[in-house]
Amino acid sequence: MTSPRWSYYCTASLLIAYLCVPLSHGADPASSTWAYKHQARPAVPNVQQKPWVHNPVDAFVLSRLEQAGLKPTPAAQKIVLLRRVTYDLTGLLPTTAECADFLHDNRPDAYERVVDRLLASNRFGERWAQHWLDVVRYAETEGYKMDRLRPEAFRYRDYVIRAFNSDMPYSRFLSQQIAGDETEPTNPDAIVATGFWRLHMEESNGDNYRRIRQDILDDNTDTFASAVLGLTFSCARCHDHKFDPISQRDYYRLQAFVSPMIQRDTIPLGTAQELADYAAKQAAWELATRKLRDEIELLTAEHARAIFEELLPALDADTQKALRTPLTERTPLQSQVAALAEKQVLIRQSRAYRRLTPDKRAHYDNLNRQLAEFDTMKPAKLPMAMSVGDVGTDVPATHLLGGGNFLRPRDEVQAGFPSAMGDFNVAVVATPSSTGRRTALARWLFQPGHPLTGRVIANRLWQEYFGEGIVGTPNDFGNMGEKATHPALLDYLASELADSGWKLKSLHRLIVTSNTYRQSSLTDANPTEDRAERIDPDNDLIWHSQLRRRDAESLHDITLQVSGRLNERMFGLSSLPELPAPVNESRSAWYPDAREEDRYRRAIYITARRNLALPLLAAFDAPDRSASCPTRSTTISAPQSLVMLNSKFTLDQARRLAEQLTQSCGSDLSALVRDAYQATYSREPAPQELAAALRFLARQAQVARSSPVMIKGAEGRPPASPAVIDFCHALMNAVEFMYVE
């Protein structure tokens, strides 16, 4: 959750600072924050309340508390802790069996066993992939007005889930995304991983592809810097950074690492044998069908050329020249520009069939029927990757741009690392087909003592567990970001991560097994509450746990979970759930999946479109995917209540839960209430809650008798009464369902 101080004052602070700092000068390196200094392992502090320290995390937190004259809050109740850690590690609710097992497990390491089980669950990767996808602004469409679908984008999402589940070292995880095509060219996963560079918005039906290329380069440079380095590099695009020791030259030197990239969408994925078999069968099919295909192409060739000539004048002069230049004679820059523009050209030319006369259309269709007779020769389609590579070993020049404008090139710059972070000797070594620049960039991130790589990812993990990072602005570790509340702790976490071989699960385990994480959110249990509220109302010192609302994806998933409808199938094409009737009028609307069960997969698998989001997700602050989202807003608004109370989705799930309870409990309403509480809140109702629920059911039943209605049960289940449905619906709208203590 964003700090109130930042929310209220950032605009005024930025304006004042902007007016006070000369435009032409970068920040003084001597005044830069600790984040630019080489990271080293700090000593674990000595504390007075040693029995409270379960692991070093507690020592760092307790040291600050003792300096302030404060004490930590006692541990949360077991069931509260189980719900909390299950949410944080999987996004779901603990099952009834898991609750019973934990409550009856009196072994000293019972909680650690739960943590290990959750870390080993496939649900872990689905939960934590969503956090990463937020940061890299993952979407399956291009954005802008057309918002065209990227049909292979889902493979990148699946890659991230698999990487987190397998505990892939963070060093390899980043390296594959940055330069997998160079470092592991025969590994299909590494090729898919380079989709990291393809998540930008793209105006593929634009009119100036030199500008579009530069927009993509800027977006990728900015996102890499904020997501991986935690720095606002975009501030240096037009002039030296006004607050941090980042010059405009640094910006374009960093951009030069990625300026040779070119998009690749037709790389088949498979083993060496699969690729060889595919190539052999494809070659045989092409040989057998060459005459037919040439004849088909000849029929539309004239119209395709006409379409090309009609489109060309609408494009900028550089793009026109690039498209007219023969493929083998293009400069690297022309190859990049032409590759971007040709997507629009091919879409337009695909409509050439419409220009054929009726007799030629008939001939065209007949030829295609003949071509289809050779389908048995065609190899089975291999999956394709949305990926990148370099345009070659010759690189397009990267210039420092006046005002960030590609039409105002100034000095040419070479690839290089930001000078404020110190000297790192990482050589760029070209391969036969690539510049090797991105490999050098990936290697630089994991040089010993690198000031930011470990700190930034450790801070992101901490933020998801505590509601706010040790640095409250996770994409900005610079001078205008929030100061670290526990810089030594963050350095310790980063050191632990590096020493573990960059295994993230070890860091997760360290954090969630600490007594700091296990504290209660009930502040009145803290013996120093009055003093703490007075000197640390924002809980910067972490003297208690935070009450947190579940994020949009978790609310979606647990609503399906309690109804018994959650489809846990992993990976593959994205889910297309049913849309509310008004949303179906949108040009970006989709038809729901033909198989009903496919509509009820976890939210991470719902198609991620930039111009349309599922209303429940949008209402509960899911990001718009146009830019990196380091911290989600947590708003309270009327649409949230309306979507939970009135949407067909939540009403359907309440009915499903009511049917299950009616089937298992029959007319025993006390048992029904207890089971409903267990399903939604993971606990038994208190006596007064049970009594209130029974009164509610009786009152609702009395109302229903005046106009008796029984809702037909689904899939052979007995029908549920409107009273029971209303009761289940009420439970799913309560704070206890939507929040985590």
Average pLDDT over residues 11-16: 41
> Which of 634, 661, 544, 505 has its CA nearest to residue 168?
505
Going by pLDDT thresholds of 50, 70 and 90, the confidence category of residue 621 is: very high
Residue 169 pLDDT:
98
Instruction: Please report the pLDDT score of residue 582 as a whole number.
Output: 85
- From the list 52, 51, 118, 55, the residue with the least C-alpha distance to 513 is 55
- Model confidence over 559-576: pLDDT tens digits? 999 999 999 999 999 999
Question: So what's the pLDDT on residue 715?
Answer: 60
Please measure the distance between the N-terminal and C-terminal CA atoms of the chain and give it in whole angstroms. Answer: 15
The H or E element that residue 716 is part of is none
- How many C-beta neighbours within 10 Å does residue 183 have? 18
Whole-number Å distance between alpha carbons of 99 and 517: 19
The band of 719, judged by pLDDT with boundaries at 50, 70 and 90, is confident
Which segments within 538-679 are labelled E, that is strand?
548-549
Q: What is the pLDDT of residues 568-616, one digit of tens each?
A: 999 999 999 999 988 888 888 999 999 999 999 999 999 999 999 999 9
Spell out where 446-568 has E strands.
548-549
% of the chain at pLDDT higher than 90: 87
Average pLDDT of the segment spanning 348-377: 95
Does residue 25 register a pLDDT over 50?
no
pLDDT beyond 90 at 420 = no
Per-residue pLDDT tens over the stretch 94-110: 999 999 999 999 999 99
Q: What is the mean pLDDT of residues 342-364?
A: 95
Give per-residue pLDDT as tens, 669-694.
999 999 999 999 999 999 999 999 99
Residue 24 confidence (pLDDT) above 90:
no
Helix (H) or strand (E) holding 263: strand 261-268
Widest CA span of the chain, in angstroms?
92
**What percent of the residues of the chain are helix, what percent strand, and what percent coil, each to the nearest 5?**
55, 5, 40
pLDDT band at 5 (very low <50, low <70, confident <90, very high): very low
* pLDDT at position 42: 95
Task: Inform me whether the pLDDT recorded for 493 exceeds 70.
Answer: yes
Q: Which residue has the tokens 């690297």?
A: 332
Handedness of CA 154, 155, 160, 161 (dihedral sign): positive
Mean per-residue pLDDT over the chain, rounded: 92
Burial class (CB in 10 A: 0-12, 13-18, 19+), 264: middle
Indicate the pLDDT class of residue 17, thresholds 50, 70 and 90.
very low
CA dist 118 and 414 (Å) reads: 46
Q: In this model, does residue 230 exceed pLDDT 50?
A: yes
Summarize pLDDT for 161-189 with one digit per residue, the tens.
Answer: 999 999 999 999 999 999 999 999 999 99
Q: What is the pLDDT of residues 513-544, one digit of tens each?
A: 999 999 999 999 999 999 999 999 999 999 99
Whether 8 shows a pLDDT value over 50: the answer reads no
SS3 549: strand
Say if residues 250 and 236 touch (Cβ distance below 8 Å).
yes
Instruction: Supply the pLDDT for residue 705.
Output: 66
Q: Grade residue 10 by pLDDT with cuts at 50, 70 and 90.
A: very low
DSSP letter at 561?
A: H
DSSP state, residue 636: -
User: Among 561, 725, 682, which Cα is nearest to 83's?
Assistant: 682
Half-sphere exposure of 474 (CA within 13 A, CB side): 29
What is the per-residue pLDDT for 20? 38
List pLDDT tens digits, range 258-303.
999 999 998 999 999 999 999 999 999 999 999 999 999 999 999 9
The first and second tokens of residue 667, run together, are 């007319």
Q: Which of 508, 579, 148, 538 is nearest to 347 (CA)?
A: 148
The pLDDT of residue 35 is: 85
User: Residue 4: which pLDDT band, with cuts at 50, 70 and 90?
Assistant: very low
How far is residue 577's CA from residue 559's CA, in Å, rounded to a whole number? 14
**Average pLDDT of span 123-130:** 98
Q: What is the pLDDT of residue 424?
A: 84
Q: What confidence score (pLDDT) does residue 701 get? A: 85
**In DSSP terms, which residues pair with 267 in a beta bridge?**
385
Look at residue 711 in the predicted model and tell me its pLDDT: 52
